[in-house]
Structure 1
Amino acid sequence: MLLPHQILGDQLNKQFDARVRTQFFRGMDFANPVGDPGWFGPGSAVWHVHSHMPALVFGLQCAAFIERLDPSIYWMGVHHSRLVKQDTKNKPMPEIDPAGFWARLGHSVAFFTGTAYGPTPTAEKLALTVRSMHHTIKGTRPDGARYDADDPEWLRWNYATVVWGIATAHELYHPQPLRGKKLDRYYAEFVRVGHALGGTDLPATKQDTLDCLKSYLPKLAVTYGAAMATGPDLPLPLAALNWAVRDTMPPWAKGLIQHRDPNIVERTARRATVWSVLNGWHAAIGPLPEFVEARKRVAGGVDPTLAPHTLPTHRPGTDPVRSRSELEDAFG
């Protein structure tokens, strides 16, 4: 007889399979070649951090929130992703498409799971697909400013928001969080992902990442998307999630969105509630099948000849030209 948490875990896993795994993990092999550690391998900080799926998903929401404070990135998402309804893409107040939200989340979870635990061929294929998608994202904001997803400044900002979001969520809500130099090891390892996506001059410690994010402040603004996400009329579950996301923001970002921390007792209680929800979710769903397969893949030892993964193999300007439709067929 299944226990209540096992029943809940089974239901959550079925939902994840239906909404994410079957659509966005297709063609991703985590079992072969045997002995290939991928980009990071057992014992890495990345394997430890990304093994907690709820904290990873929450961290990606934190990254998305701070990322869209850049007006160019906000309009890249409006014009080139499925996040908003097609007939509102050119309107000043675009509307969120629920199916598009799941597509964006599915792509992100698949990418950060595949590059963490996949063998080298899987990780390289994912990086190529995302880079190729970035090559197609060029356009003009409503105010006439141009944007280009291959811009090194954009790549650095995007990278810094993601590594900061995931690491901060881990530090706050993982039951066994890395801290200090151990957490800096995660930042240093994760640079491998940023380089594979074409990034340059990337921060490699927590403090360097915070400094990098703050250096962009003169370019940032409260976009329509950020303003709507901080509104007072959100439904209770979204309001609670939104508070938890805003609570992670650096002080300068909190000032930009006019977020004020509650007193220490209330803040501690709120964080304890979020901790319980995320870790209850994690306990219910159990280890990711992809993580289990990755551990089996290297259970007999690591073959270092299979993955010279300390340096990126990508060289700018060498990607094949692929259309948007080709990429969507390949990546879901």
Structure 2
Amino acid sequence: MQANATDRRASLLVWGALAIVYVVWGSTYLGIGIAVESLPPMLSGSMRFISAAVLLGGFLLLRKGKSAFRMTGREFVGAAVAGLLLLTLGNGMLAVAEQYISTGLAALLVASVPLWLVVFRFVVRDRPKALTLAGVLVGLGGVAALSLTGGEAAATGGIVIVLLASVSWAIGSFLSSRIAMPANAFATSTVEMLVGGVGLAILGTGLGERLDVTAVSSRSWLALVYLILVGSLIGFTAFSWLLGNAPISLVATYAYVNPAVAVALGALVLGEVITPQIMIGGLVILVGVALVISTERKRTQRAVEGLDGEGEVGLGVRGGQEPQPPGDHVDPPLEQRRV
């Protein structure tokens, strides 16, 4: 009886954490869209990630002391490079793009990250299965359908920018599984957010962004606070916990639930129009991503079962290290590694 109660409680915790990741990370597109209404996109991202890094790093110091931040110079550089690719370029370009396109469209295009990861694997001669490649072709067909809007030049530019952001995220995720990273996942995220935030400040200032506090609306400030506390900290904590307590097949579903949440919130809160083109193109992308994730999960599961009979593996884990989740709302690498 006690075992059943424990299992039920564990199941509720898993679904609760998954619901947080679904809604919180899906809502970050809306948060960014509202923030950039009156805040400079890159400078607002800088404030977001530097603030989140200070809060997360301070919490980690209080809880585990300086030992949590022990890392080699090579590991620090690895986390710094990931932060620049994932946050400075990835999130920075997303924020810029959301000035010109809807939050829902941006989210659906970002859902293509797992597809680009497979493309990079193919380039380095790690040939995926035929079904994985089929999923990539289907998903990229959806990306093409969404990209060919035939609309204004500003919207076309926004689409190009968000696609470049997706490629940058994919490169950052791809490299994160292949270069030295700090052992502690929270220390890794702290470095990524701090370096990424500093990079955004330098890039934004260099491109002429200036912060006029008097011109910022209260709703943009509230959106920024939400992104710091809820998007970057609560969402990341829930995701980190899931990595060690839930099957990867379940955790990976966020990759195609987040865009659906983003589209719904954009329509409900901002009154964004969901056109047939967005519906069909978005659905095609999500089908492709689902095919890629399910095929890769089965391949990895069979490989692990062949070693020791275990049915699930950790997400983005290196031998002898803690799970390595992304710093903030970034699709993790498809390559799964056991401890």
TM-score with structure 2 length normalisation? 0.31
Higher share in helix:
2
TM-score with structure 1 length normalisation? 0.31
